Structure 1
Amino acid sequence: MITVAIPNSPVFSPSSSIYCKSSPESCSPAPAFKFQLQNPVKVSDDGRPGSCSTNPTLSKRKRPAKLAIPVASVCFSGKPPVAAVEDRWKEVAVEGDGYSVYCKKGKREAMEDRFKAVVQLNGHHKQAFFGVYDGHGGSKAAEFVAENLDKNILNELEIMGEINIIEAIKQGYMNTDSQFLKQEHRGGSCCLTAIIRDNNLVVSNAGDCRAVVSIGGTATPLTNDHRPSRQDEKLRIESLGGYVDSSRGVSRVLGSLAVSRGIGDRSLKQWVTAEPESKVVKMEAGYEFLIMASDGLWDKVSNQEAIDLARPFCVGDNNLEPVSACKKLVELSASRGSVDDASVMIVQLGRFC
């Protein structure tokens, strides 16, 4: 089985009026200005000022030396600044055995997409598992799903057998959801998986990641996005006592989440189910390649556009470069204004037929 799952400064503290030229430990308060009368005024018994030998004056204090306050590093906590941690998922490219992946971080603070590829599943050369996971509210959910979902599905398949593959996949999703919720992490993840066994392609999704297959150059979607604007999803949410609201033209569950299914999302779990929708198709002549991608692609690129762009890199006899197709799709989405994380996986179906 082959498994791939990538990827002492000067400070100034104005709150304490302490100027630090080296480190917080060496800081000391600047001396305060003091005013002092050189000759006190004499006061008579009746309370009127009396005569004094000299007029009262204030002593002149020497002007302190000008302090050089560094501007390159400002620390309000009294601690040196912490170096930023490099995000190893900022950009990932993989050319695998029968599949290719390209992921690129959008404008968020950290990349929240993850993926999983397992070829030679259970030692069988023509069997494989693929997954694309789009996290929200952080990457914890997507990371957990990438580590556990395929194992949970395969465990259920061993129990239920091939005849109940749809139910086994559903139970694998639900088990992964329950396990993640016990971790007490925030956020959630949309999930898209594909299993290839015995010339069958089984695609499942919970959320708005999408799978599109090229059949002789024609784009055929194998999943339906789970969004609150979808009429059946809206009715399901409302039947459970929830509601769908619109914010800036985007429908959201309880005015919050823009997807209606996924793993995690503890605070919305009553309405955001982890139950996937699945489809089984028999791979026949003409089934060329499968594109699995997060909504960072599909929000800006149509199904047929994606197939048309990728096909020259995926179909033919020589110099095939599917990973270049993945990258060009992400670049196309970004050129049209996408600021979301984007992950694109292309599976060469001929490798597994």
Structure 2
Amino acid sequence: MVNITVPQNSPSSSSHYKSSPEGLPSPSPPATIKPSGSGLVKDYWIRSTTCTASSTADPKRKRQLKVDIPVVSYGHSGWLTSSSLTTVVEDPWKEVEVDGDGFSVYCKKGARDVMEDRFKSFVDFNGQHKQAFFGVFDGHGGSKAAEFAAENLYKNILTEVEKMGEVNIIKAIKQGYMNTDSQFLDLNNRGGSCCLTAIIRDRNLVVSNAGDCRAVVSNGGTAMPLTSDHRPSRQDEKQRIESLGGYVDYSRGVPRVLGLLAVSRGIGDQSLKQWITAEPESNFFKIVPEFEFLIMASDGLWDKVSNQEAIDLARSFCVGNDKLQPALACKKLVELSVSRGSVDDASVMIVQLGQFC
């Protein structure tokens, strides 16, 4: 078991970039998404969920068209099933709620013009029953890096696992992160993204992160952080940056790499790549009965809500009730952060670990 100390509340970095050294992409128009029916878990069979949709407009009608956002099932052998949600949207990421098979997600856009968070959920990962992949991605300088990571990181990890074997899964995950970073940089796109992933198989849990998205498990009701935030204020991260010829400077009260970026690891960030590494920190855990549920979230939650507060609030919806409501717990956590003044994008995923054991 690995014990990691993570600050309960760190200085707000609601804007990872003070100002993007490469500039920001043109913002998309604001909008909403409201799935029809009583909830995705009741109306759709979800095996894989990634939200990367974009909006379309008809210049003749001068108003938004209906667009289809596919929710698809994907296995190692190929596409299995497909269904779609038809909804009037401008920006489908303004608010997203998913209640899936053993996991729930709630995402809400903050004060920016563009929602930069993304997520990935993949149940029966690699064709294995009770094996799953989950990811939360927090972009900065635009959403392209987060979208790219959501679509490609799990594929790159799977490729490396097949090459190296599962006994080398930590090494395979690292190489998957590094390959994803290289592929994104080759596209010459702007911005970057923090990444947080969790792989579950055979009662084992491997959690990896590059950046300040955080994973916390409820260990019998006690908050147990499974990751440590990568911020320039961390002494080892500061030393690493300085050893490479960089420096950490405060801007708006927040320590930033070269006075610009408030995180020290992630994919992308081409202009700062000398100091911003995509190498993740990974930790391996045996899932014990005391592990009730896992919270994976972007810093839009953790900047305003402590680890224990998050577990306490979520636990009343996720443990010991006849009618569990983890999706509502995700939403309540985001609402708590907003009520405390957060203007950042926020994405919260709760994984019911017992579903995979």
- Residue 215 (structure 1) aligns with: 219
In 1, are the aligned partners of 2:126 and 2:158 still within 8 Å (CA)? Answer: no
- What TM-score results when the alignment is normalised by the length of structure 2? 0.77
| 1:2 to partner: Cα distance | 1.9
Task: Work out the number of aligned pairs and report it.
Answer: 282
Structure whose alpha-carbon radius of gyration is higher? 1
Q: Deviations over 1:218-245 (max 9, x none)?
A: 0000000000010000000000000000
Q: Deviations over 1:183-223 (max 9, x none)?
A: 11100000000000111000000000000000100000000
Q: Deviations over 1:96-116 (max 9, x none)?
A: 000000000000001000000
Q: Deviations over 1:235-273 (max 9, x none)?
A: 000000000000121000000000000000000000000
Unaligned runs of 5+ in 1: 8-79
Say whether residues 1:120 and 2:165 are aligned partners: no
Taking only aligned residues, the RMSD between alpha carbons, in angstroms, comes to 1.7
- Residue 319 (structure 1) aligns with: 323
Which among 335, 340, 344 is matched to residue 339 of structure 2? 335
- What TM-score results when the alignment is normalised by the length of structure 1? 0.78
- Residue 278 (structure 1) aligns with: 282
Letter in structure 1 aligned against 2:221:
G
Which among 44, 49, 53 is matched to residue 4 of structure 1? 49
Which among 259, 263, 266 is matched to residue 263 of structure 2? 259
- Residue 307 (structure 1) aligns with: 311
**Distance across 2 between alignment mates of 1:106 and 1:317:** 32
**Distance across 1 between alignment mates of 2:356 and 2:215:** 17
| 1:123 to partner: Cα distance | 2.2
**Distance across 2 between alignment mates of 1:215 and 1:125:** 24
Local SS of the residue matching 1:89: coil
Local SS of the residue matching 1:219: strand
Local SS of the residue matching 2:179: helix
**Distance across 2 between alignment mates of 1:124 and 1:170:** 22
Say whether residues 1:269 and 2:273 are aligned partners: yes
Local SS of the residue matching 1:129: strand
Local SS of the residue matching 1:325: helix
**Distance across 2 between alignment mates of 1:180 and 1:198:** 32
Unaligned runs of 5+ in 2: 1-45, 53-59, 65-88
**1 or 2 for the larger relative contact order (CA 8 Å, sep ≥6)?**
2
- Residue 228 (structure 1) aligns with: 232
- Residue 149 (structure 1) aligns with: 153
After superposition, where does 1:11-22 map in structure 2 within 5 Å? none
**Distance across 1 between alignment mates of 2:93 and 2:252:** 29
Say whether residues 1:158 and 2:162 are aligned partners: yes
Letter in structure 2 aligned against 1:209:
C
Runs ≥4 residues deviating over 3 A: 82-85
**Distance across 2 between alignment mates of 1:186 and 1:254:** 17
| 1:6 to partner: Cα distance | 2.2
**Distance across 1 between alignment mates of 2:51 and 2:251:** 34
In 1, are the aligned partners of 2:265 and 2:278 still within 8 Å (CA)? Answer: yes
